[in-house]
């Protein structure tokens, strides 16, 4: 060896002995996982490759490292490098195992991070080794075969190629005539018309009493007349949203009359909740009366002013909603106009594309015809060259058949010998199994008497016999049963107290409901007397938006007519 080579070998040997503990971690894991079938005699080879990849890769370079790897067995190196340069293994268990011997920060910065940096380049080396394995071909020694030579014959002059006969025109099959039933109306249409006329006659003859359910009762007739008259009066004064609100209030007013009379069954939680609500209202009312007695002011005027301001805010909100709705309608009309303009532009572009496509198809057809002519000439030349090769192929086929026959005879003899050896092994195994079963079938007698009054004798604190254990369990069950009886009596007393409380709350709720019903009736009468019609003015923004929408719709209809 040269001086440099000797130094490299000695450094590698010293490094392998110094870092033997961490190199053994990787090589042992490789033998357990991916290298199960690798011989143990090659263990030092994997240790050297692991040391070079971990500590010497930056010093010697990837090119020198790849030369060392390629000089060894391709399959083994590809398998080991793919296992060692796995991102998941380096970041998980290899890093954790090396951290047992050295500091984890030192391991990550000096060993794991450089390996991850070299990983993409080493991956290319692994792919080259994989390609080399896939492209490897096994060389089979074959006997030398006599190569026939062509006779030196006079080459005939090439004959003139006759023009190809034109392809025959396809003959279309004779079509069947159109059946006369197509020009006649179908029978089903006549049947449907007859059924329709019969149904109309039945509808005229039917009794008018079957529509009794559609008649309006006198109570509902008065209510509907009142709604319709109010709508016709206020239609020109208020917007659609306000009409809907008015209709809802009138319907709810009538609905409350029927709902108040319906009895509602309350559960315990609802009763307690409603009782607490009425109790809170009662306390607030008492507090308000005490404040009035002490000289505080009545907040009714403030509440009235607050109600008026909320009504004004509601009208402004309705006007704003109407403006937004009209603006949305205006934007819709503008979008329809823009869509129609885009359709016209797309039609023009489509016409241009059709013209370009027709020109390209014409050029493609000419090119295709020229290629077909060239292919026909090439096929004729190849057919003339294949005539002399057929005889040689026949001789080679006969020789191959003889070789195959010899190989089949030899393989059949070897197979027969292997079967005989396998039968001998199976017979010996069967005899051994029979002996083992006979030994296991011999019964073994084991008797042991148990005394329930004696302890186990294990030397534990509080050790007792089975009889004493049963007595203690019986005492514990009696104590548990007494505790359950006491708890059951306590639950019954609590339940009776709770039922009495709920009955008291129900009496209190019925009194409060009766008082609230009277107060609501008085308030409704006062509200009917104090209602007066007001005619809100329409907002100028709404009028302007309505005019713009009418102009856009007229423009859109004209554009649609042109399209």
| pLDDT above 80 (res 59) | yes
For residue 192, what are its two tokens? 């449907």
Q: What is the DSSP letter of 92?
A: I
> How far, in Å, CA of 27 to CA of 83, rounded?
10
**Predicted pLDDT of residue 476:** 94
For residues 331 and 328, give the distance between their C-alpha atoms in angstroms, rounded to a whole number: 5
Q: How far apart are CA 51 and CA 99, in angstroms?
A: 17
- Do 563 and 346 touch, CB atoms closer than 8 A? no
Residue 87 vs residue 139, higher pLDDT: 87
For residue 481, is pLDDT > 50? Answer: yes
Residue 309 has pLDDT above 60, yes or no: yes
Judged against a pLDDT cut of 60, whether residue 6 lies above it is answered with yes
Structure tokens at 471: 């007595």
**HEC secondary structure over 392-457:** HHHHHHHHHHHHHHHHHHHHHHHHHHHHHHHHHHHHHHHHHHHHHHHHHCCCCCCCCCCCCCCCCC
Can you give the pTM of this predicted structure?
0.29
Q: How confident is the model at residue 255 (pLDDT cuts 50, 70, 90)?
A: very low
Does residue 475 surpass a pLDDT of 90?
yes
Whether 21 contacts 52, CB under 8 Å: no
Domain residue ranges in the chain? 3-137
- pLDDT given for residue 483 in this prediction: 94
Per-residue confidence (pLDDT) for residue 387, from 0 to 100: 65
Whole-angstrom distance, CA of residue 346 vs CA of residue 426: 84
Report DSSP state, residue 502: H
- Backbone φ and ψ for 201, nearest 5 degrees, come out as -65, -40
Asked if residues 556 and 337 have their Cβ atoms less than 8 Å apart, the reply is yes
The pLDDT value given to residue 551: 82
Tens of pLDDT, residue by residue over 522-558, are: 888 887 876 644 444 456 777 888 888 888 888 878 8
Average pLDDT, the chain: 79
Structure tokens at 247: 């209709």
Out of 19-28, 74-83, 548-557, least confident range: 548-557
Burial class of 155 by CB neighbour count within 10 A (0 to 12, 13 to 18, 19+): exposed
Sign of CA dihedral 324, 330, 333, 335: negative
Beta-carbon contacts of 509 under 8 Å, excluding residues fewer than 6 positions away, are: 271, 274, 275, 278
The band of 142, judged by pLDDT with boundaries at 50, 70 and 90, is low
Locate 435 and state its tokens: 């002996």
**Rounded Cα–Cα distance for residues 122 and 190 (Å):** 85
Give residue 305's pLDDT: 86
Q: What is the mean pLDDT of residues 244-262?
A: 47
Mean pLDDT of 23-52: 87
Reported as a single tens digit per residue, the pLDDT across 194-249 is 998 998 888 777 654 454 554 555 555 555 555 555 545 444 444 444 445 444 44
Please indicate whether residue 138 or residue 541 has the higher confidence score (pLDDT): 541
How far apart CA 561 and CA 563 sit, in angstroms, is 5
Name which residue leads in pLDDT, 383 or 269. Answer: 269
pLDDT tens for each residue of 401-412: 888 888 888 888
Q: What is the 3-state secondary structure (H, E, C) of 16-64?
A: HHHCHHHHHHHHHHHHHHCCCCCCHHHHHHHHHHHHHHHHHHHHHCHHH
Q: Would you state the pLDDT for residue 219?
A: 55
Q: What is the pLDDT of residue 294?
A: 78
d(CA 255, CA 244): 16
How high is the pLDDT of residue 298? 64
Q: How confident is the model at residue 489 (pLDDT cuts 50, 70, 90)?
A: very high
Residue 100 in tokens:
């047992």
| pLDDT (0 to 100) of residue 220 | 56
Burial of 79 (0-12, 13-18, 19+ CB in 10 A): buried
pLDDT at 474: 94
Sign of dihedral through CA atoms 224, 226, 229, 233?
Answer: negative
Predicted confidence (pLDDT) at residue 480 exceeds the cutoff of 90: yes
Q: With contact defined as beta carbons under 8 Å apart, do 84 and 25 qualify?
A: no
Above 90 in pLDDT, residue 477?
Answer: yes
What is the pLDDT at residue 233?
47
505: burial class by Cβ within 10 Å (0-12, 13-18, 19+)?
buried
Task: Give the Cα separation of 399 and 142 in Å (integer).
Answer: 12
Percent of the chain exceeding pLDDT 90 equals: 5
Lowest mean pLDDT among 276-280, 288-292, 360-364, 483-487: 288-292
């Amino acid at each position: 060896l040269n001086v440099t080579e000797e130094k490299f070998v000695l450094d590698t040997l010293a490094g392998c002995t110094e870092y033997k503990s961490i190199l053994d971690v990787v090589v042992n894991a490789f033998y357990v996982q991916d290298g199960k079938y690798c011989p143990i005699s090659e263990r030092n080879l994997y240790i050297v490759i692991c040391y070079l990849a971990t500590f010497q890769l930056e010093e010697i370079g990837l090119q020198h490292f790849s030369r060392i790897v390629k000089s060894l067995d391709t399959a083994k190196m590809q398998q080991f490098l793919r296992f060692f340069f796995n991102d998941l293994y380096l970041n998980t268990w290899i890093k954790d195992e090396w951290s047992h011997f050295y500091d984890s920060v030192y391991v990550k910065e000096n060993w794991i991070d450089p390996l991850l940096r070299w990983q993409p380049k080493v991956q290319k080396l692994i792919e080259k080794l994989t390609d080399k394995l896939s492209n490897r071909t096994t060389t089979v020694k074959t006997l030398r075969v006599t190569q026939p030579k062509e006779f030196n014959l006079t080459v005939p002059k090439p004959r003139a190629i006759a023009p190809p006969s034109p392809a025959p025109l396809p003959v279309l099959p004779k079509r069947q005539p159109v059946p006369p039933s197509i020009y006649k109306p179908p029978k089903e249409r006549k049947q449907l018309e007859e059924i329709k006329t019969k149904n109309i006659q039945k509808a005229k003859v039917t009794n008018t009493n079957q529509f009794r359910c559609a008649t309006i009762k006198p109570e509902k007739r008065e209510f509907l007349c009142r709604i319709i008259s109010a709508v016709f009066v206020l239609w020109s004064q208020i917007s659609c949203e306000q009409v809907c609100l008015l209709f809802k209030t009138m319907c709810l007013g009538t609905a409350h009359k029927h709902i108040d009379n319906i009895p509602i069954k309350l559960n315990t939680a609802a009763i307690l909740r409603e009782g607490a609500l009425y109790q809170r209202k009662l306390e607030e009312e008492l507090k308000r009366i005490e404040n009035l007695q002490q000289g505080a002011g009545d907040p009714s005027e403030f509440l009235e002013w607050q109600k008026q301001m909320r009504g004004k805010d509601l009208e402004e909100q309705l006007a704003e909603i109407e403006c937004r709705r009209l603006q949305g309608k205006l934007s819709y009309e503008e979008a329809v106009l823009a869509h129609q303009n885009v359709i016209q532009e797309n039609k023009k572009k489509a016409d241009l594309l059709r013209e370009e496509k027709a020109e390209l198809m014409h050029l493609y057809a000419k090119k295709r015809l020229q290629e077909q002519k060239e292919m026909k000439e090439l096929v004729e030349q190849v057919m003339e060259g294949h005539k002399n090769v057929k005889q040689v192929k026949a001789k080679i086929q006969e020789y191959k058949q003889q070789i195959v026959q010899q190989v089949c005879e030899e393989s059949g003899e070897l197979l027969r010998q292997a079967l005989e050896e396998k039968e001998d092994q199976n017979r010996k195994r069967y005899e051994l199994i029979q002996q083992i079963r006979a030994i296991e079938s011999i019964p073994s007698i084991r008797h042991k008497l148990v005394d329930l009054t004696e302890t186990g004798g294990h030397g534990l604190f509080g050790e007792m016999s089975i009889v004493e254990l049963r007595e203690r369990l019986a005492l514990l069950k009696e104590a548990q049963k007494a505790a359950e009886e006491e708890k059951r009596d306590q639950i019954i007393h609590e339940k009776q107290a709770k039922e009495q409380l709920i009955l008291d709350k129900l009496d209190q709720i019925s009194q409060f409901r009766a008082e609230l019903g009277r107060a609501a009736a008085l308030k409704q009468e006062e509200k009917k007397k104090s209602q007066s019609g007001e005619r809100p003015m329409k907002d100028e923004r709404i009028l302007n938006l309505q005019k713009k929408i009418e102009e856009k719709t007229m423009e859109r209809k004209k554009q649609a007519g042109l399209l």
